[in-house]
Amino acid sequence: MKKQIFTSLALVAAVGLSGCSQNPNKTKEEKESEANVATVLGAIGGAVLARQMGVDSRTGTVIGGVIGGVTARKIYQDVNKDTANDPNTNVEAVNIDGQEYIKVDVRDVNFRSGSAHLDPEMLDRLGPVLNALRNYPNTRVHIEGHTDSDGSRAFNQQLSENRSKNVAFYLMDNGISRDRIITYGYGEDRPIASNDTPEGKRMNRRVTFLISEY
């Protein structure tokens, strides 16, 4: 499993459950395509507030092996160790707008095609993220949901949001406060593999976590 340290580009992130900011470097097309993509988990009862937010963690440049923050370094080490036997989980330390994050990309997550529900046996793969959030209570997590290209774009957008929210509910069911969780959905717009093959589609049905300190 290849684990590298990257620095990413722009962040448009929420502070708490209500605030958001805009990245002035984004093009008009990027802003329009990401508008209303993200959802914030507003209440356990299902009240979800739509926000124009997004963490663009797709690109980066190598910055070497040093992680500045002590907490970020510990989380990186812990999650890296706990996912060592999972070839489809990648862990990176990233720096977005001066904020350190630990990015955990859980690929080939077995969301059945067209479904937002995880198979029970897949929940173990989320254990390293859950453990990190338990062990470091001064952190929050951004959860990104993604889909393959089957179905309409509108359907996949909603599906990706539902996937990230279901993962959030799993974390909350295991003791993580909803105030520490922000969810996003990117639909089919950010594939990491070809959607022309079943294997590629499985890889694109995935969840990405970005863990940071408050």
Tell me the pLDDT band of 110, cut-offs 50, 70 and 90: low
Distance CA 197, CA 201 (A): 6
What pLDDT is recorded for position 116? 76
State in Å, rounded, how far the first CA of the chain is from the last one. 29
For domain 63-213, give the CATH number: 3.30.1330.60
> Model pTM greater than 0.75?
no
Alpha-helical (H) ranges within 35-143 are: 70-82, 127-135
pLDDT attached to residue 111? 66
How much is the pLDDT for 195? Answer: 95
Mean pLDDT to the nearest integer, 162-174: 92
Q: Compare 206 and 56 and report the one with higher pLDDT.
A: 206
Q: With a cut of 90, say whether residue 67 has pLDDT above it.
A: no
Q: What is the largest CA-CA distance in the chain?
A: 44
d(CA 80, CA 125): 13
Mean pLDDT of 150-176: 93
How many whole angstroms from its chain centre is CA 169?
Answer: 14
Percent of the chain residues past pLDDT 70, beyond the cut = 65
pLDDT value of residue 56: 53
Mean pLDDT of all residues in 98-127: 80
> Which of 7-11, 143-147, 178-182 has the weakest average pLDDT?
7-11
Q: Where are the beta strands (DSSP E) in the chain?
A: 6-8, 11-12, 39-41, 48-50, 54-55, 60-62, 89-96, 99-106, 139-145, 181-185, 207-213
Mean pLDDT of the chain: 73
Residue with tokens 């499985």: 202
- Domain range list for the chain: 63-213
Q: Which residue type, as a one-letter code, is found at position 13?
A: A
SS3 content of the chain, % helix, strand, coil (to 5): 30, 25, 45
**135-156 pLDDT tens trace:** 999 999 999 999 899 999 999 9
Q: What is the pLDDT of residue 35?
A: 35
